[in-house]
Chains A and B, each alone.
Chain A
Amino acid sequence: MTSLIASIGRGALDNLAAAGRGTVLLLDILRQLPHVWKMRSEILEQMHIVAVGSLPLVLTTSVFVGAVTAVQAVYQMQAYVPMKFLGTIISKSVFIELGPVLVALVVGGRLCANYAAELGTMKVTEQIDALEMLAIDPMRYLAMPRFVATFLMLPVITVFADGIAVISGYFVSVATMDVTVSTFVEGLRMYFDVADVASGLIKSFFFGAIIALSGLFFGLGTKGGAEGVGNATMMAVVGSCLSVLVADYFLAMLLFQVVFNK
């Protein structure tokens, strides 16, 4: 019993310490922001990896997210809600919730694994030490470009994904279900609210920061050899996905009960 309490206490302390170190990492990265111009080519390269590299994944995800939302919405609405609300429901759920969160989960998994495995391997093969020996700060050279690129590009990817998902929902509704083009478009336009899109984008900035931070944190903290890299990669992906979901809740509270509260 005492050992159980002790281990819970130790777990809590470990998590607290990790949160502390994560904050320190974030501050270290933010401190490198004055070097953004100097690091522009690395940042652009990372942006390319984040955005262009994620396109096929995001495309597939959003096509099916749009499609399944349409099918589910039609199924749940029939007999209760007029079909003119179909476009409204699909677009709102995509803009506010599904787009930002699912992009953060799938793209986050991809990027976290990439960052953690790459930096973890560099750590265990002493490449990070070698950078330090060349008087190059790994925070400036490795961490900051990845952070900035993810932070800036995730919202861009999200806008793209939102668009694809709504279009896909439209096609599925019109082509396979008993919905006319004008009904769908009317619903889409009637209740469109910029705040919906804005809230989704604000969330995805936060998600971008969470994803980058998680990948970098576990990558740079890697210990041991191949097993350590595997472990770090797993922790980074798990950490990122869970943090995104938790942050989603708190951001929703903040955004819809305070910021966009009408």
Chain B
Amino acid sequence: MSDLLQGLPMPDFSVADPSSRDGIVLQGVTKSFQGRKILDNFDFTIERGETVVIIGRSGEGKSVMLKHIVRLLNPEAGNVWIDGEDITHMNTKRLFEVRKRFGMLFQGAALFDSMTICENVGLGLKEHSGLSAEEIRIRACECLAQVGLDKVEDKLPSQLSGGMKKRAGLARAIAMRPDYILYDEPTTGLDPITSDAINDLILQLQAELNVTSIVVTHDMASAFKIADRMAMLSGGRIIYAGSVDHVKKTGHPVVRQFIEGSAQGPLSVF
């Protein structure tokens, strides 16, 4: 453990029997790139229906952590359970069934650049739903409207601005009406008004469809608005987790420095 956390309490997220509980459980997940441990014995649990915001400094491994939840990356050690099912050693077919219940907004939107926006949003439906082309188009347009995009259906991703791409990616993530949505920086690059509309959308999905959301963000206003729980990732682990009220009042020096966005404190800048 790094020096800066010396003497601070470390939360314990290990659960006794992950195979008999709902939600997402990560246990002992370890991953390194080029010999550097990005996730180090990472434990965390996300309950059904809650919105968890993950914060942490750039390059700490937040995106890597999200990818482990759906096994876009394979851990070197440890396991991931989704609603009691261990996905770590599951075959591809089963894994695809699990992924159908997930939507993911990628940090870089990751739109298919050879397809129009409408085809991007409707691809999952086209492959799995059996809906007609007309119905898919209507659903895709509905999803685009939910993220505040219209008249872009027939454009190519390269014809959209960065923020519009992000929102089109979000529309694609919600098109299949998933139970779980992973958001990697949903409001980065958006103007404050659109950002707030996205916050409202996340809250609305939770209220109406009981969607479980995991949101990685650097946008504190957004985090405070949408989170049921906030967790901070540092040194390959969750060093702190608590409700928004707890976070706002916490005496944890690292978390304090982060949410206040101060260059002075235990976290050094360079």
In the bound complex, residues from chain A placing their C-beta under 8 Å from that of B128 are 135
Closest beta carbon of chain B to A144's beta carbon, Å: 14
- Residues of A126-180 at the interface with B, using a CB-CB cut-off of 8 Å, are 126-127, 129-137
A129 touches B67 (CB 8 A): yes
In the bound complex, residues from chain B placing their C-beta under 8 Å from that of A122 are 112
**Nearest residue in B to A135 (C-beta to C-beta)?**
B96
Does chain B have a CB within 8 A of A125? yes
B106 touches A129 (CB 8 A): yes
Closest beta carbon of chain B to A21's beta carbon, Å: 15
Does chain A have a CB within 8 A of B99? yes
Majority secondary structure of chain B interface residues (helix, strand, loop or mixed):
mixed
B110 touches A129 (CB 8 A): yes
Q: Mark A185-204, 1 if CB is under 8 A from B, else 0.
A: 00000000000000000000
In the bound complex, residues from chain A placing their C-beta under 8 Å from that of B127 are 134-136
The A-B contact count (CB < 8 A) is 50
- Checking B92, B112, B176 against A130 with a beta-carbon cut-off of 8 angstroms, the contacting residue is B112
Query: A126-B110, A127-B110 given as contacts; is B92 within 8 A of A133 (CB)?
Result: no
**Nearest residue in A to B173 (C-beta to C-beta)?**
A133
**Nearest residue in A to B101 (C-beta to C-beta)?**
A135
A126 touches B108 (CB 8 A): yes
A133 to B66, CA, bound (A): 12
B99 touches A130 (CB 8 A): no
A133 touches B113 (CB 8 A): no
In the bound complex, residues from chain A placing their C-beta under 8 Å from that of B99 are 132-135
A136 to B127, CA, bound (A): 8
In the bound complex, residues from chain B placing their C-beta under 8 Å from that of A121 are 113
- Checking B103, B108, B124, B172 against A125 with a beta-carbon cut-off of 8 angstroms, the contacting residue is B108
Q: Mark B106-123, 1 if CB is under 8 A from A, else 0.
A: 111011110000000001
A135 touches B106 (CB 8 A): no
A129 to B66, CA, bound (A): 12
In the bound complex, residues from chain A placing their C-beta under 8 Å from that of B92 are 137
A125 to B112, CA, bound (A): 9
In the bound complex, residues from chain B placing their C-beta under 8 Å from that of A130 are 104, 106, 110-112, 172
B72 touches A135 (CB 8 A): no
A125 touches B96 (CB 8 A): no
- Residues of B75-114 at the interface with A, using a CB-CB cut-off of 8 Å, are 92, 96-97, 99-100, 102-104, 106-108, 110-113
Does chain A have a CB within 8 A of B143? no
In the bound complex, residues from chain A placing their C-beta under 8 Å from that of B176 are 134
Closest beta carbon of chain A to B156's beta carbon, Å: 13
A254 to B91, CA, bound (A): 39
Which residues of A come within 8 Å of B, CB atoms?
A: 121-122, 125-127, 129-137
11 A-B residue pairs with Cβ-Cβ distance under 8 Å, sorted by A, are: A125-B110, A125-B113, A127-B110, A131-B112, A133-B70, A134-B123, A134-B124, A134-B127, A134-B176, A137-B92, A137-B96
- Interface pairs A-B: 8 shortest CB-CB: A126-B110, A135-B96, A134-B124, A130-B110, A135-B100, A133-B104, A135-B99, A129-B72
